[in-house]
Amino acid sequence: MPTFEYLAKNQKGKEKKGTIETTTKKVAAEEIREKGFWPVYIEEVKKRPIRKRLFSGIRGVSLKDKMIFCRHLGVLISSGLSMSRALDILSGQEKKQSFKKIIIALGKDVRKGIALADAMIRHPQAFNKVFTSMVKVGETGGSLEEVLKILSSQLEKDHKLVSKIKGALIYPSIIIIVMIVISILMMMFVIPKITTVFEEFDAELPISTRIVIAISDFMAANVFLTLGIIFVLVGSVVFFYKSEPGKKIFHKLFLKTPIISSLVIKLNSARFARILSSLLVSGVSLVEALKITSDTLENYYFKISVEKASEDVQKGMALTDILSKNETPFPFLVIKMLKVGEDTGKTPDILERLADFYEEEVDQITQNLAAVIEPVLMVVVGIAVAFFAIAIIKPIYSLMQLV
């Protein structure tokens, strides 16, 4: 039986999105109406080959691509072109096939009478809640061009921030990966040849040497099993990290670790301030803006803090009072500046200044990160070399003196 994806609204304007299994699109529409909703769109979900489905979540749309899309779409609309025509032009200019298909699909939906924001909801791999909510507000209030400018600016700042952090982490990541690979190759292929020397002399070996030799013998005799174990261990760590218990442990560790904690706190504070400011300027209510912002925060404890804040704000409490009372990871400066924003009625402006401040702080940290990490890596590499020297080279040197 075919599956249909749909977006529907009730009389109060509440949206409902989901899938339904039935015989035809017409029957699906009738079933949705019976539930008190009117369909905005209904499309059959085409089953893709297994190979494509496996990798469908890997490909996304980069921040840079979305930034250019927003900027160009805003320019085309301001020039007097219709939305469908503007999307056709952008799809023709787009070189990346994955994003090109999405823009073409947006154009088709818009020509059917579907709002741009509703069409974007169908492509979560490209447009998140922040994006679709701001576009929706822009369409409703007739300020789509201005909203697209704000989105473009926000995406540009996000792109710069992410690029700086990735750039700062490339060097240590390469060093760690190379060190691990060399260690594995040594254990599998180099140490088994060295151990023949110990066997010839039948020498009494230290416990560290015996442990290294035992591990090396196992790895050399079971190459594929060893690689499988390493793959499973890495996969298990990644899986655990993505689970809620894993996020609680790792993210708490990030907030307690020197240097990393400063980067995590300032990065999440910058993102919180930037996105919340953009949403409020676009006309999104504070409660809804906080809900959407919480989804964009990476650290678990920042995310939970903002989620709780959105619930309490809905009850009539002031945002700064909530963040002051709860066990929040937000710095005191954020709460203090938010209080100024609430008292003066200029919360979006204050948040924008906060975002600029913390983005500059993150920039400074990333610039100094390589200088800080380099000596730490040297110590780690030194410890690894010293361990192998004590476990393998020292016994060989002792045997050579006996000869």
DSSP letters, 327-359, are: ---S-HHHHHHHHHHHHHT-HHHHHHHHHHHHH
Same domain, 199 and 295: yes
Per-residue model confidence (pLDDT) at position 209:
81
Where residue 11 falls (left for φ over 0; alpha for ψ -120 to 50; beta otherwise) is alpha
Same domain, 159 and 141: no
Contact between residue 358 and residue 277 where contact means Cβ atoms under 8 Å apart:
no
Contact between residue 374 and residue 195 where contact means Cβ atoms under 8 Å apart:
no
Same domain, 373 and 302: yes
Same domain, 225 and 179: yes
Same domain, 79 and 109: yes
Domain-terminating residue out of 103, 129, 152: 152
User: What value does the CA radius of gyration of the chain take, rounded to a whole number of Å?
Assistant: 28
Burial track 92-120 (b if 16+ CB lie within 10 A, e otherwise)? eebeeeebeebbbbbbebbeeebbbbbbb
Look at residue 56 and tell me if it is in a domain: no
Mean pLDDT by 10 residues, the chain (403 residues): 76 76 78 80 61 38 86 88 90 88 91 89 85 84 83 82 79 83 83 76 76 85 87 92 90 87 89 87 85 86 90 87 78 89 88 89 79 78 79 72 58
When divided into structural domains, the chain yields a total of: 3
Q: How far is 308 from 158, CA to CA, in rounded Å?
A: 25
Per-residue model confidence (pLDDT) at position 106:
92
Look at residue 240 and tell me if it is in a domain: yes
Which residue pairs from 322-326 have beta carbons closer than 8 angstroms and sit at least 24 positions apart in sequence? Answer: none
* Closest of 226, 225, 251 to residue 240, by C-alpha: 251
Per-residue model confidence (pLDDT) at position 50:
34
Q: φ, ψ for residue 353 (rounded to 5)? A: -65, -40
* Closest of 67, 30, 34, 224 to residue 159, by C-alpha: 67
Burial track 123-157 (b if 16+ CB lie within 10 A, e otherwise)? beebbebbbbbbbbbbbeeebbeebbbbbbebbbb
Amino acid (one-letter) located at 39: P
Residue count of the chain, please give it. 403
Same domain, 143 and 276: no
Look at residue 241 and tell me if it is in a domain: yes
Q: φ, ψ for residue 284 (rounded to 5)? A: -75, 140
Look at residue 352 and tell me if it is in a domain: yes
Same domain, 136 and 175: no
Per-residue model confidence (pLDDT) at position 249:
93
**Which stretches of 254-378 are assigned E, i.e. beta strand?**
none
Per-residue model confidence (pLDDT) at position 326:
59
Look at residue 101 and tell me if it is in a domain: yes
Tell me the CA distances in angstroms from 119 to 113, 135, 234, one per residue in order: 10, 11, 38
**Which stretches of 96-215 are assigned E, i.e. beta strand?**
none
From the number of C-beta atoms within 10 Å of its C-beta (0-12, 13-18, 19+), residue 2 rates as middle
SS3 246: helix
Same domain, 317 and 335: yes
For the domain that residue 172 is a member of, what is the CATH number?
Answer: 1.20.81.30
Domain-terminating residue out of 92, 127, 152: 152
Same domain, 35 and 123: no
Domain-terminating residue out of 152, 172, 193: 152
Q: How far is 400 from 403, CA to CA, in rounded Å?
A: 5
Residue with tokens 């004590």: 390
Per-residue model confidence (pLDDT) at position 218:
87
- Bridge partners of 81? none
Look at residue 54 and tell me if it is in a domain: no
Q: How far is 28 from 84, CA to CA, in rounded Å?
A: 27
Same domain, 13 and 162: no
Q: How far is 102 from 56, CA to CA, in rounded Å?
A: 13
Contact between residue 8 and residue 37 where contact means Cβ atoms under 8 Å apart:
yes
Per-residue model confidence (pLDDT) at position 279:
84
Chain mean position to CA 45 = 27
Per-residue model confidence (pLDDT) at position 5:
79
Look at residue 57 and tell me if it is in a domain: no
Same domain, 73 and 178: no
* Closest of 115, 184, 119, 181 to residue 144, by C-alpha: 115
The DSSP string of 75-118 is HHHHTT--HHHHHHHHHHH---HHHHHHHHHHHHHHHTT--HHH
Per-residue model confidence (pLDDT) at position 403:
55
Contact between residue 225 and residue 188 where contact means Cβ atoms under 8 Å apart:
no
Q: What domain range is 249 assigned to?
A: 153-403
Same domain, 35 and 70: no
Look at residue 58 and tell me if it is in a domain: no
